[in-house]
Chain A
Amino acid sequence: MENLTEMLKGTLEGCVLEIIGSEQTYGYAITRRLNELGFADVVEGTVYTILLRLEKNGLVQVTKRPSEHGPPRKFYALNDAGREELATFWAKWEYITSRIDKLKEGGR
């Protein structure tokens, strides 16, 4: 599906945390993963900006590894604060989706 950008905005950071949480990885691979998942509009720049934010907020551990071509690649892994943030994200997600589902079903 396309044109999801606005709606995805607040949840993309959680998605990136989840991807990093399952394995240590880098920006380009994270973008591809999101594209394969069906979020075709997500671009490298957006993911890079999110990774910068995660790094500055102390949620990830960054390791530089030499790359076959180009500069060393930054690999990201969650630290304890990152895992906590991820759990909070899923709790919030659960809350929002349950409320919105209720609204859709016409409940109160």
Chain B
Amino acid sequence: MTTESNEPKSRYLQHLEIITGPLEDKKRWRQYKARVKQLPENYRIAVEALERYLMHFGPADGAGAMAMYGDLAELFEQSAADGTPIRDIFGDDPVEFAEAFMANYPLGQYRARERHRFASAIERAAGENPDREDRTKR
């Protein structure tokens, strides 16, 4: 995406964004939704179904998630232009496709926390790194 700016944010904007979340993310989300709206109906239905799945299991928010939705719009715009059948985008197993696609972006907070907790528990059970601080117990 080329819409990002590297200019430092004003103090006002910094404070506002604590409450609202980054405004660029919101803008990018609206751009994504507008792109999806332009798609032929069956592609739009497919993207929205995938979007729902990603909302639950993908990165929840932030720049990582926005980059993901941008790429998603790109994939479906290209597929619609090429006339790629829906099944040829997803393959036989849409869940597997969604998981492989998602793996390119930062994990959602919930998944990241649980993975870390799990790995640390095994590390302790295996007797490795006993001094390591357990950051998951809060």
* Chain A residues within CB distance 8 Å of chain B: 5, 27-28, 31, 41, 43-46, 48-49, 52-53, 56, 67, 69-71, 73
Name A73's closest neighbour in chain B (CB-CB).
Answer: B78
- How far is A5 from B93 in the complex, measured between Cα atoms in Å? 11
Q: Is the CB of B97 within 8 A of A45?
A: yes
B101 on interface, CB distance cutoff 8 Å: yes
Q: How far is the CA of A28 from the CA of B104 in the complex (A)?
A: 20
Chain B interface mostly:
helix
Roughly how many angstroms separate A70 CA and B38 CA in the complex, as a whole number? 12
Pairwise interchain contact B104-A70, C-beta atoms closer than 8 A: no
B128 at interface, CB cutoff 8 A: no
| Chain B residues closer than 8 Å to A48, beta-carbon distance | 75, 89, 101
Q: Once A and B bind, how many residue pairs between them come within 8 Å at the CB atom?
A: 55
Given contacts A52-B71, A71-B74, contact A46 B82 (CB under 8 A): no
User: Contact at B101–A43, with CB atoms within 8 Å?
Assistant: no
Closest 7 CB pairs of A and B: A70-B81, A45-B89, A43-B91, A43-B88, A49-B100, A52-B104, A71-B77
* Given known A-B contacts A28-B84, A52-B71, A71-B74, A44 and B100 have beta carbons under 8 A apart: no
Given A49-B101, A49-B104, A53-B104, the answer on whether A44 and B84 have CB atoms closer than 8 Å is yes
B54-95 residues with Cβ-Cβ distance < 8 A to A are: 71, 74-75, 77-82, 84, 87-92
Q: Which of A52, A53, A70 contacts B78 (CB 8 A)?
A: A70
- Say yes or no: A71 contacts B100, CB within 8 Å: no
Q: How far is B78's CA from A52's CA once the two chains are assembled, in angstroms?
A: 14
A58 to B97, CA, bound (A): 22
Q: Is the CB of B90 within 8 A of A45?
A: yes
Q: How far is the CA of A45 from the CA of B43 in the complex (A)?
A: 13
Q: Which residue of B lies closest to A71 (CB)?
A: B77
7 further interface pairs, Cβ-Cβ under 8 Å (given A41-B91, A43-B88, A43-B90): A5-B91, A28-B82, A31-B88, A44-B82, A45-B89, A49-B104, A70-B82
